[in-house]
Amino acid sequence: MEKVDITIIGAGVVGLAIAAYVSDKSRNVLVVEKHKSFGQETSSRNSEVIHASIYYPKNSLKGKLCLEGNEMLCELCHKYNIPHKNTGKLIVACNDEEVAKLPILLNTAMNNGAKGVHIISQDEVKKMEPNVEARAAIYCPTSGIVDSHSLMRHYEAMAIENGANAIYGIEVVSIDKASGGYIVGYKDRSEVRGKFQSRILINCAGLESGKISEMAGINQDEAGYRIQRCKGIYFRVRHGIEKFPKMLIYPVPPVHGHVGVHTTPDLGGGMRLGPHFYWTDEMDLNVDESYREYFYESAVRFLPFLKIEDLQPDIAGFYPTRQKPGEGLIDFIIKHESERGLDNFINLVGIESPGLTASPAIGKYVKELIDNSIYLL
Ligand SMILES: Cc1cc2nc3c(=O)[nH]c(=O)nc-3n(C[C@H](O)[C@H](O)[C@H](O)COP(=O)(O)OP(=O)(O)OC[C@H]3O[C@@H](n4cnc5c(N)ncnc54)[C@H](O)[C@@H]3O)c2cc1C
């Protein structure tokens, strides 16, 4: 049976970032992905925002890895010419109630260490973004956008250069503990099955990360690892490009745990609104036209130039979240499962937003988990 040192299950932005950071010529690292190429799921269906680390609870993994990831990602983008833009972001308050919430939000952002965030006046908003309506705002200078596909291509190239292998069209279907690691069962796209042995397993399966945990012997409900079906949808604004804000424009979060429908400028000069998300049993990626009015009402408050007829359904994505309806923000799980008797199993579950931003910091964090572990290798 073929043997490898480290297997990473899933070639989304997180699995590929980890592959880039943990690979070196002394280790045999393998990435297995069920689709024919990388990034076919959540990593291609998001806002592509480089977050500044604003909303997360103090000392959360999300907050720490987002902050570090923001800096690391900007450096990577500059160094390797990965298309990106440091747009900056405004969180706009449109009425008295929202103005009163800005200092609380600013405090959370400062507790997270977000750089350069401060409150600006109505006049300053107008100077920065003449077509945006707000009574005041929080300015976040380190937010931006990145081409997620180019980023994933970069991570994949970095991993391969370090000696790693990426195999596509291979779905992991079973995991059995064995002496010296795990026996991984897989099937290919023609249903041909096989097995190989891996000393370390890293679960980066996104929406399937609860299921992979279960394969390894963890009860996903008892562990709180079940991924909920939470869909995020977008509308594109078709006309009025001359009025589109250059920065990211976010509302004051309407409810705890939701950032609200916001603008995302794309690198081609277009603009999307979203995501609006909701829990559903739907599996499909269609965007229901009936949400047009909701999107319009949410955004016209701060984008008065919007016309409802210009909104066109765009993409949708599912959050790999553990958060249930009504719950507030919940943290990433990134850990050894040694306390569950799974010594060489590193588990990443619920890597929702800001997983794209945090990806290089997650790669570094997992490398440190492996390098400093008494359990591994
Ligand atoms: C609507 C939306 C907006 C978002 N906006 C942002 C944003 O602006 N900024 C930001 O930082 N983050 C954002 N995020 C979060 C970010 O997109 C995710 O955190 C990130 O893409 C997760 O990457 P991943 O590699 O963990 O998951 P994925 O991209 O889902 O990759 C997991 C991979 O595992 C593979 N896989 C699953 N099971 C198996 C198996 N059994 N065998 C082999 N392969 C398997 C899948 O095919 C998939 O390719 C957003 C998310 C959503 C849904």
As a whole number of Å, the CA-based R_g of the chain is: 21
Can you give the pLDDT of all 377 residues of the chain as single tens digits?
A: 899 999 999 999 999 999 999 999 899 999 999 999 999 999 999 999 999 999 998 899 999 999 999 999 999 999 999 999 999 999 999 999 999 999 999 999 999 999 999 999 999 999 999 999 999 999 999 999 999 999 999 999 999 999 999 999 999 999 999 988 999 999 999 999 999 999 999 999 999 999 999 999 999 999 999 999 899 999 999 999 999 999 999 999 977 667 899 999 999 999 999 999 999 987 899 999 999 999 999 999 999 999 999 999 999 999 999 998 888 789 999 999 999 999 999 999 999 999 999 999 999 999 999 998 755 55
Query: Is 234 in the same domain as 310?
Result: yes
Q: How far is the CA of 305 from the centre of ligand 1 (A)?
A: 33
Query: Is 34 in the same domain as 105?
Result: no
Residue 54 within any structural domain of the chain: no
The reply to whether ligand 1 has any atom less than 6 angstroms from the CB of 355 is yes
- Do 351 and 203 touch, CB atoms closer than 8 A? no
The reply to whether ligand 1 has any atom less than 6 angstroms from the CB of 206 is yes
Query: Is 197 in the same domain as 244?
Result: no
Residue 171 within any structural domain of the chain: yes
The reply to whether ligand 1 has any atom less than 6 angstroms from the CB of 35 is yes
Q: How far is the CA of 42 from the centre of ligand 1 (A)?
A: 4
CATH number of the CATH domain containing 107: 3.30.9.10
Q: How far is the CA of 221 from the centre of ligand 1 (A)?
A: 21
Could you give the CA distance from residue 337 to residue 341 in angstroms, rounded to a whole number?
Answer: 7
Alpha-carbon 88 to chain mean position: 18
Q: How far is the CA of 348 from the centre of ligand 1 (A)?
A: 11
DSSP-derived letter for residue 253 is P
Query: Is 221 in the same domain as 234?
Result: no
Which tokens belong to 212?
Answer: 């992979």
The reply to whether ligand 1 has any atom less than 6 angstroms from the CB of 69 is no
In 3D, which of 218, 299, 313, 214 has the Cα closest to residue 262? Answer: 299
Could you give the CA distance from residue 83 to residue 170 in angstroms, rounded to a whole number?
Answer: 30
φ and ψ of 203, to 5 deg:
-90, 110
Ligand 1 mutation pick, 45, 353, 362, max ligand atoms within 8 A of CB: 353
Q: How far is the CA of 120 from the centre of ligand 1 (A)?
A: 34
Nearest CA to ligand 1 atom 9: 49
The reply to whether ligand 1 has any atom less than 6 angstroms from the CB of 66 is no
Q: Which domain holds residue 257?
A: 89-141+228-319
Total domains in the chain come to: 2
Q: How far is the CA of 13 from the centre of ligand 1 (A)?
A: 7
Query: Is 154 in the same domain as 214?
Result: yes
Query: Is 136 in the same domain as 279?
Result: yes
DSSP E strands in the chain: the ranges are 3-9, 29-33, 49-50, 84-85, 89-93, 118-121, 136-140, 144-146, 165-168, 170-178, 181-188, 193-203, 230-237, 248-251, 262-265, 271-279, 311-319, 333-337, 342-349
Residue 162 within any structural domain of the chain: yes
Query: Is 170 in the same domain as 315?
Result: no
The pairing of beta strand 311-319 with beta strand 333-337: unpaired
The reply to whether ligand 1 has any atom less than 6 angstroms from the CB of 12 is yes
Cβ burial 74-92 (10 Å sphere, 16+ → b, else e) = bebbeeeebebeebbbbbb
Q: Is 267 helix (H, G, I), strand (E, B) or coil?
A: coil
Beta bridge mates, 195: 185
